[in-house]
Amino acid sequence: MINSNGLSKKEVEESRKKYGTNELLQKKQKSFFHQFIETLGDPIIKILLIALAIKTVFLFRDFDWFETLGIVIAIFLSSLISTISEYGSEKAFEKLQEEASKIKCKVKRSGKLEEITMDEIVVGDIVKLETGDRVPADGIIIEGELSVDESSLNGEAREAYKEKVTGEVTDKNLVYRGTVVYSKTAFMKVEKVGNATYYGKLALELQESNPDSPLKLRLRNLAKTLSKIGYIGAGLVSLSYLFSQVVIESHFSLPLIINTVTNAPLMMGYILYALTLAVTIIVVAVPEGLPMMITLVLSSNMKRMLKNNVLVRKLVGIETAGSINLLFTDKTGTLTKGKLDVIGFISGSLKKYNTEVELSIYPKFHHLLKLSLVYNNESNLVEGKAIGGNITDRAILNFVHSAIPNARIIKQTPFSSKMKYAATVIETDKKIQLFKGAPEVLIGHCVSYLNENGTKETLVPDKVLAKVNDMTKRGIRVLAVAYNDRYDYKVMDKLTLLGFVLIKDEVREEAIEGVKMVQEAGIQTVMITGDNKNTALAIGKEVGIVTSEHDLVITSSELGNYSDEEVKKMLPNLKIVARSLPQDKSRLVRISEEMGLVVGMTGDGVNDAPALKKADVGFAMGSGTEVAKEASEIVILDDNFLSISKAILFGRTIFKSIRKFIIFQLTVNMCAIFLSIVGPFIGVETPVTIIQMLWINMIMDTLAGIAFAYEPPLKEYMREKPKKREENIINRYMMDEILFTGSYSSLLCVFFLKSSFIQQFFRVDPSDKYLMTAFFGLFIFMGIFNCFNARTNRLNLVANLYRNRAFWIIISLIVVVQLFLIYFGGSLFRSYGLTLRELVVMICLAITVIPVDWVRKIYLKRTKQVTGV
């Protein structure tokens, strides 16, 4: 027995204790400090932390404060920037959720109607629902009836009709949290609150952790590779140093070797220095500027993407977008406008008219049609805009653009899901009964149709229904419009058909272009929709998802009959899943990720949230539900599918920028390692001093990272195949350039230091201070010129460089600072100035890295090998 007075204050407290509140419980958000600590788990940063620990524990006596400070700054800044970006995004979404929970609703308690916040609702409450209200919890209609928008739950744009429960409870009597009332008024008894609601259960699914991003996996593999190189290099340097000090310095004399080995203080000094060399090699081998560069490139592009209506919630989501090779997309609100529009009218003679005004040349027919469309309608025109009623009535009223005839409404029978039609009796110069509803219902009661000239003709039902079926197969919803001009209004018989209103959730024009761009990028696009198979197929063909007879279009029930292994076999040809359920989306995402695919998922409804969360990158629509936005990595603010293709382009650009920086930095690092190993054997103990290395490794590499972070997105990137999830971050092209240019740079450095031919161009000094000043400049300028080599696979090194002003500014700044250090660095930087002749010779040698790399690029192009990052 339902208490029509609602719950008393005591009953509210009892219900709250028994069933809980209507608040959606969420996992505790990580603190800023906790998120900062988590960022230290970056694979590259881990290696730097290990090196830092070794230096601190074992080498405290000879502690190198400058290099150590450099490592600490690199770790701190990259972690801080990343944490600030993501923490800020999470706080913004917490605020959105807080605002959503403050939505007011009307509830009957102790016989009075009062307004409370959504979170205060309890099981057993009687809630009044009116047009425009958001349903606060799951419940049963106990009085009245409603037209409800459930698109956020099931993805369908059409309204759902809900009525008072009279016996066994069915879906027609149930309303769900998060849905919106289109029209009418009803009272609902709350059955479930908070996380027990359908909406809440979906929110609980979002607590699952995200899969590791492709970038994280690639960086992990890169860290393993670099750490192996670093450890091997460190071991070789340590052994070679110890061999040199113990064996070579003892002139291979066994007694002298034994004396050296047994001299504990001496050996401890050798071992500590060998350990110092080992740590130095590890630090040099690891591109410590990479974590900061990745954070900078993601952060800077996040701001650029916002200008293109793409809001990035999680930084790594940008790069992941560029790695997508399979994109599951929702239909309603994503590929389509998400609202119904009348796209035309078909008369009883089966002629199609795109606008109501086109019928104005047939006065009698036009007048009668307008009466039917305007008065057999629960919406009203206010200042030329339809308000009230359900979405279908508003769409029909917006179709009428000419003057509305006057009439008096005598009786109205609202649309009922049982009857499947609406009827209205009006009076103008005579009484007329107007009908609007499902064609299969009304056509059976029609005996004639009114032609455009206003004459009744015999109706052939089969011919008319064939036309209706043809429209339905094209994804168009059809409503029949008929009338009865007899006076017996109790009998629905011998009606005259006026025609059919064609209603459709129209495809976004930009969606067609967006789908084309995504598919040209080699990304398979699969539409998942709650619509029937025919409607889904029609939309799929219209937007360009279905283009071949081999493309698979299946329903949810068909999908459920296949095992995971069978789905994996058919997935490459799958294009549409119709009549889908929320679990279908999550299952397809899981299966695709098991196949090693990088999966993207678009959506806007609550039903899309679990799949958005499970996908590698989720794209939520800006007009979508807050749950969908929270589950996603990226929010498309303008609901434009074309913006998704822009996000993919930015993602690919970012990955290329990261690869370009890696080429640049590992080339510099390779040269530095080579000099560290070879230097002692060629009589140059410190080719590059610690202070100079600090400038090279920290300032120059960080600045170069900023320069590469602003590389422009080129449309040509969208013609490349997507990268595989397991693809290494260093490809064959990169390895070739690093080894080739790195080897040349290393040999050039040795040649510069030991060649008498080179030395004759520089002033003679017992300490070779001018030669070493020039060598410092040579090392830096080789890196500067190699920046141009690394950023493009073209021979034209300045191609598209005008679109990256940051590059010019940063490179100019490095040049200015380096020239300043050469002339004013003094003993701190071991720089004592150069004459103009010496400076020119040094720069001419440094610039040779460009023509040498041209040779490599020309060879690759002629042999048609991999020609880019």
pLDDT in tens, 758-774: 999 999 888 889 999 99
Q: pLDDT tens, 833-856?
A: 999 999 999 999 999 999 999 999
pLDDT of residue 30: 62
pLDDT of residue 673: 79
Average pLDDT over residues 520-528: 94
Q: Name which of 454, 465, 484, 473 is nearest 531 in CA terms.
A: 473
Distance CA 503, CA 778 (A): 72
pLDDT of residue 93: 45
Higher pLDDT, 606 or 471: 471
Q: Is 488 buried (19+), middle (13-18) or exposed (0-12) by CB count in 10 A? A: exposed
Find the range with the poorest average confidence among 49-53, 539-543, 587-591: 49-53
pLDDT exceeding 70 applies to what percent of the chain?
86
Whether 616 and 593 have beta carbons less than 8 Å apart is answered as: yes
Per-residue confidence at 56, pLDDT binned at 50, 70, 90? low
Bin 825: left if φ > 0, else alpha if -120 < ψ < 50, else beta: alpha
pLDDT at 414 over 90: no
SS (H, E, C) 714-748: CHHHHHCCCCCCCCCCCCHHHHHHHHHHHHHHHHH
Whether 340 and 477 have beta carbons less than 8 Å apart is answered as: yes
Q: pLDDT tens, 598-624?
A: 999 988 777 778 888 889 999 998 877
- DSSP β-bridge partners for residue 428: none
Helical (H) or strand (E) element with 299:
helix 289-306
Distance CA 695, CA 758 (A): 25
Q: In this structure, are strands 477-484 and 431-437 parallel, antiparallel, or unpaired?
A: antiparallel
Per-residue confidence at 491, pLDDT binned at 50, 70, 90? low
pLDDT at 512 over 50: yes
SS (H, E, C) 772-800: HHHHHHHHHHHHHHHHHHHCCCCCCCCCC
pLDDT at 693 over 80: no
Q: CB-side exposure of 609: number of CA atoms within 13 Å?
A: 24
Distance CA 506, CA 333 (A): 10
Find the range with the poorest average confidence among 96-100, 219-223, 280-284, 705-709: 96-100
Per-residue confidence at 95, pLDDT binned at 50, 70, 90? very low
Per-residue confidence at 127, pLDDT binned at 50, 70, 90? very high
Average pLDDT over residues 511-523: 92
Higher pLDDT, 430 or 210: 430
Distance CA 416, CA 184 (A): 12
Q: How many CB atoms lie within 10 A of CB 465?
A: 14
pLDDT of residue 129: 93
Please tell me the total number of residues recorded for the chain in this structure.
869
pLDDT at 698 over 80: no
pLDDT at 74 over 80: no
Q: CB-side exposure of 292: number of CA atoms within 13 Å?
A: 26
Residue found by looking up tokens 């920028």 in the block? 657
Average pLDDT over residues 489-501: 83
Cβ-Cβ contacts under 8 Å for 352 (sequence gap 6 or more) = 344, 345, 346, 502
Average pLDDT over residues 268-296: 74
Q: pLDDT tens, 626-659?
A: 778 878 889 998 888 889 999 999 999 999 998 9
Find the range with the poorest average confidence among 179-183, 228-232, 831-835: 228-232
Cβ-Cβ contacts under 8 Å for 284 (sequence gap 6 or more) = 669, 672, 673, 676, 693, 697
pLDDT of residue 96: 43
**Mean pLDDT score of the chain, rounded to an integer?**
84
Per-residue confidence at 38, pLDDT binned at 50, 70, 90? low
Whether 569 and 296 have beta carbons less than 8 Å apart is answered as: no
pLDDT at 794 over 70: yes
| Strand ranges inside 69-111, DSSP E | 104-109
Higher pLDDT, 287 or 499: 499
Q: Name which of 581, 647, 577, 580 is nearest 619 in CA terms.
A: 647
